[in-house]
Structure 1
Amino acid sequence: MKETEVVITLKSLTNLMVQPWPDTQPVAIAPFNSSASNSLISNSVMSNSKPFNSIASGNVLWSQFRSDVNTLTQQLTASKHQRWAICFEDSYFFAVAFMAAAHANRHIILPGNYQPAALAELTPHFDAVLHDGVVDHLTATDIELFTVDAASLSAISDSQTTNSLPFSPLLLNTICLTLFTSGSNGTPKAIDKTLALLDAEIEQLDAVWGGVISNSTITSTVSHQHIYGLLFRVLWPLCSGRAFERLNVIYPEQVIAHANQDTTLISSPALLKRLTEEHVSKPYRAIFSSGGPLSLDAAQHSHNLFEQRPFEVFGSTETGGIGYRQQQDATTPWLLFPAINMMLNAEGCLRLLSPFIDPNNWYQTSDQCACLSERTFMLKGRADRIVKIEEKRISLTEVERRLCDLDWIEEAAVLPLEETNRLILAAVITLSENGKKTIDDLGKGKFWLTLRQALRQSVEPVGVPRRYRAVDEIPLNSQGKRLVRDLEQLFID
């Protein structure tokens, strides 16, 4: 082994700032190196009325990161506020705020997004907000806003009378983090965790994939405000000494422009399925996808573009990661993470014994599965997506699958609707090219009749949707999830 070669090992969140990576090692890198990407981000920034301070920022080394975290830790320690909401566009300043809040032993609150109305709903959960310019104001007058950027950190450092204080090891079980999951109806639900649970998951991720992505740079299309992005985009890279790009990749063209053998892409089905019009690219080191089901077509196209089938990660805010796979065909099973044990309850729903949830107690999910072995399983849908219509139990997931089996339909979202004192099913669909041609040839009325007749070949009559809406894209929230309330809006006449 050459003397200059760096051996990558994983560091725990406990001692990450106590025994950090070398001062000259990069922690975060400037966004969007290509001219095409620069043009796209420039247009995006120019259309945003709020100033964004980190666009002009460049690479940051660990020496600067430690200094910035130390400065902000002292500031938070001196503050009376205990519960801090962290809202950032720049993943570097997000990391500074996260680690500073942890070392100040503050309760970290991660809102799912920082739009004014969404943030206002969550004000009972926090006392103050750290942000990088993405939060203008809050209607709650007792909530204080603190900007964290290069200028503010420099000003705080200059005003502090004490020198940098040495970091102490974190007591991970005592540091609380609250995330939010929207659920199916869009109402934010608080999920409380400790940093010890996240640290256990980081250790598992590195055990499974650390060798695959060693010495690569992390670029991402997903937000660090949710658990998937928090782990894969920020905390795992910090603990493994991998630099991450500071800003989100937003457009398919940027995903293409960033591709190279030394970059790992953290993405979602919502973005990967938009790459179908792209046909020329370079390989990525690895691609990860989570947040929803990835179609086999999208997985195959990713392989054609980047010479990589995405590692799909199955899990939730509540459970953390559960399993993973690389789709080869429609029957590719999920593999349980090594640290987790599973069993099924009487309804065929997955039960987990997981160090990412509670290492001592089993956790019941609503995910219906078929266990193929002790470590592999197939997903069959959610138990909470079973509805009763005219005394018959109908699986919305199964109806969606049968719709997508039809040659006319690309994607489908099925939901129950109350109509004239009875419950019916409705379907929001995207049409294939053949579907668009058929609806033009037949007309809408005859097309919907033909579609229902075809569906009756595989779905019992009460399970056939009575109402349909064809859309260009099925609406998703910032996590790539479908929300019932958004779908219901499409059927308001």
Structure 2
Amino acid sequence: MKKFFKVLFSVLTVLYPVLVFTLLVVFKLPVRVLSLCAIVLAVALLLSVAAARSNRKEKDKNFAFAVIRPIILSVLLLVAALFCYFTNQSIFIKLYAVAISLVMLILFGITLIFPPNIIYTIATLMDKSIKGSISQPYVEAYCKKVTIAWCIFFLVNGSISVYTAFCSNDLVWSVYNGGISYALLGLMFLIEFNIRMKVSKNMPSVHTISTFTADSRPDNYMVCYEGIRSRGVVKTWYDFLTDCAKVRMCIEAHDKKDWILHSEDYWYFLVTFVALLQCKKTIHLTQNIATSFIQEIKTQDVMFITDQPVKDETAIQIKEVLAKYTPVEQQIRMTPAIDAETTDIRMYTSGSTGKPKAVRQRMKEFELDNAFIISKWGQEFLSRYLVTTVSQHHIYGFLFGICLPFALGVPFRRTRITIPEEFELLNDDKYMIIATPAFLKRTVDTYGDEPLPLQNCFIFTSGGAVSEELAKKVNAVFGFCPLEVYGSTETSGIAYRQQSVNGLRWTPFDNAKIWKGDDECLRIISPYIKNPEGFATADLVTIFDDGTFLLRGRADSIVKIEEKRISLPEVESRLLDSGLIADVKVIALEDRRQYLA
């Protein structure tokens, strides 16, 4: 029965003007008889809606939205029919069409004053992934424009309905309100659908290294640029697919499982890294390519691919690979699947012992870490071009300089900034700057109080704490107080702060749980940390009631000097082993540059 009334309601809504014309003009049915029929129909429709609502156990938003329209229209029909009955005038039946447009105008218009607008509400009910996504603000803006367009439509349509009700005959009223009006309604839907399809293609979307396909970006999409963005020397999405295919051809020519990757060129690094993942290889990322270090990790079963001149004659040069191989179109368009959970990436760090060690990671954890950054600051990335002063072989540079821009489609600079004076060139556009505290300090030492000619830059920094004095100087020189990220290779991002907003307190990432251990040191659990018991840092901490925390120094003798962990006992031991001194004590000194003494 409910389905019957639902179908009946839809049919009568569409054919209402035609039925009125037929009954009044063709069959000459008395107005009061027609109004009584309308009253009975309106009451029946209201009862059917009420019955459907009472039988619904879970009253979710979808259901509430589905019943509000028939209730309003049924009430309007009832009111129009009652007026028609008591006045014996058919004009009130005709004004029902006007009332529908008026009510829809009010419903749509009021959501523009008290957001979210009705189109956005419908969109989020149909696609629950919109909320919290990188495209949410763009969807909201588009839906607002669509809501305004519908308000204009209902205003114009209602005005024409008023004219046909008062200033034209019954035939004209019936043709417009029962035919032309619905044709215009359908045309509006069709136009909006086509516009939506075009707009959706230009909306930002997240395509991570483990989920992208050949069609994730247009072929001419800018992935990377050289020097400054306005120079126009770029690498496109098609270049990315092509170079990945070339490197894959090289990798497939060797049967080794483990590959050491070192590339100072961010573009070479990206295409080689992705190709290695596509070929299911274990990747060793190291900033240190000194012969002695490489010999420690490179055995006969390990390949070494780089863009730097090295003494190892077996090392593969990325530039030569890209010049040697020529893939066909099918190979270029092929994007072998990357399973984020089974990827094997080794990043080398000094750890808390002061000795180099390999930390095994997966793309799954990297991308989980990036998901929070994207949700929090994704719009800041999307409105800028990316430059970095950080090596991509360390987790901070890798996450912010490779993974994040790739996932968001933010063009990144092919080479990192190596001297402060390079910042002066970045006056042609807005840039996202990924830097370290040490490099920021060098820059402010270089420029003093002189501001750089930058356009609304945004700065992330990690690899050590920024002092209050340095934060103020950076704000003066760059026009932005740096946003600091606290973390390590073992933990990835843990917390953030911006001293102009948060002072010295750190705010944990939403996906990180922190507490203080018995030794007064910080303990962490996050999706990035594989150990279910969490990770124990050596950072002394004070945790406040609001969840923020303050770092109070180290519990061990590890210090960071220009982003490098140094074990003071290890330095002392090496000095004593030299036989040149009888006793030694090493401390860290703060000056214009940081030293050991």
What TM-score, normalized to structure 1? 0.71
Maintained 8 Å contact 1:414/1:427: no
Specify the alignment match of 2:364 in structure 1. 196
Specify the alignment match of 1:146 in structure 2. 316
Specify the alignment match of 1:66 in structure 2. 241
The letter of the residue matching 2:326 is S
203, 212, 221: which one pairs with 1:16? 212
Aligned identity (percent) is 25
Specify the alignment match of 2:451 in structure 1. 280
Change (3 A) 1:428 1:157: same
- Compute the displacement of 1:152 (Å): 3.0
Specify the alignment match of 2:420 in structure 1. 252
Maintained 8 Å contact 2:461/2:484: yes
Any stretches of 5+ residues in structure 1 without a counterpart? 36-56, 387-395, 401-412, 432-471, 476-486
Secondary structure at 2:324 match in 1? helix
Which segment drifts farther, 283-292 or 308-317?
283-292
Change (3 A) 1:31 1:118: farther
Query: Pairwise mapping of residues 472-483 of structure 1 onto structure 2 (< 5 A)?
Result: 473-475=593-595
Change (3 A) 1:174 1:268: same
Runs ≥4 in structure 1, deviation > 6 angstroms?
418-424
Distance in 1 (alpha carbons) for counterparts of 2:567 and 2:296: 28
Specify the alignment match of 1:173 in structure 2. 341
What RMSD in Å do the two structures reach over aligned CA positions?
3.2
Does 1:81 pair with 2:256?
A: yes
Query: Pairwise mapping of residues 316-331 of structure 1 onto structure 2 (< 5 A)?
Result: 316-328=488-500, 331=503
Give deviations 1:60-100, integer Å, cap 9, x for gaps: 00011011112222332342111111111110010000000
Distance in 2 (alpha carbons) for counterparts of 1:33 and 1:210: 20
The letter of the residue matching 2:325 is I
Maintained 8 Å contact 2:557/2:567: no
Q: Tell me which protein shows more helix as a share of its residues.
A: 2
Specify the alignment match of 2:536 in structure 1. 364
- Compute the displacement of 1:164 (Å): 4.0
| Rg (Cα) greater in structure | 2
- Compute the displacement of 1:328 (Å): 2.9
Distance in 2 (alpha carbons) for counterparts of 1:101 and 1:77: 10
268, 271, 290: which one pairs with 1:93? 268
- Compute the displacement of 1:33 (Å): 6.9
Does 1:6 pair with 2:202?
A: yes
Distance in 1 (alpha carbons) for counterparts of 2:291 and 2:230: 32
Specify the alignment match of 2:324 in structure 1. 155
Specify the alignment match of 2:14 in structure 1. none
- Compute the displacement of 1:283 (Å): 3.7
Distance in 2 (alpha carbons) for counterparts of 1:106 and 1:272: 36
Query: Pairwise mapping of residues 280-429 of structure 1 onto structure 2 (< 5 A)?
Result: 280-281=451-452, 282-328=454-500, 331-358=503-530, 360-373=532-545, 375-385=547-557, 415=568, 425-429=585-589
Maintained 8 Å contact 2:230/2:428: no
Specify the alignment match of 1:232 in structure 2. 400
Which segment drifts farther, 195-204 or 320-329?
320-329
Distance in 1 (alpha carbons) for counterparts of 2:594 and 2:230: 31
Any stretches of 5+ residues in structure 2 without a counterpart? 1-141, 143-194
Distance in 1 (alpha carbons) for counterparts of 2:465 and 2:301: 33
Secondary structure at 1:135 match in 2? coil
Query: Pairwise mapping of residues 201-212 of structure 1 onto structure 2 (< 5 A)?
Result: 201-212=369-380
Maintained 8 Å contact 1:18/1:168: no
Which segment drifts farther, 246-255 or 415-424?
415-424
Give deviations 1:330-363, integer Å, cap 9, x for gaps: 9520010111111111112112111111284422
The letter of the residue matching 1:429 is L
- Compute the displacement of 1:155 (Å): 1.9
Maintained 8 Å contact 1:113/1:225: no
- Compute the displacement of 1:186 (Å): 5.2
Distance in 1 (alpha carbons) for counterparts of 2:470 and 2:495: 19
Distance in 2 (alpha carbons) for counterparts of 1:298 and 1:261: 25
Maintained 8 Å contact 1:351/1:363: yes
Does 1:25 pair with 2:221?
A: yes
106, 113, 130: which one pairs with 2:305? 130
Change (3 A) 1:106 1:379: same
Maintained 8 Å contact 1:11/1:240: yes
Change (3 A) 1:309 1:66: same
Distance in 1 (alpha carbons) for counterparts of 2:348 and 2:543: 30
Give deviations 1:29-77, integer Å, cap 9, x for gaps: 0125799xxxxxxxxxxxxxxxxxxxxx931000110111122223323
- Compute the displacement of 1:322 (Å): 0.6
Q: Tell me which protein shows more strand as a share of its residues.
A: 1
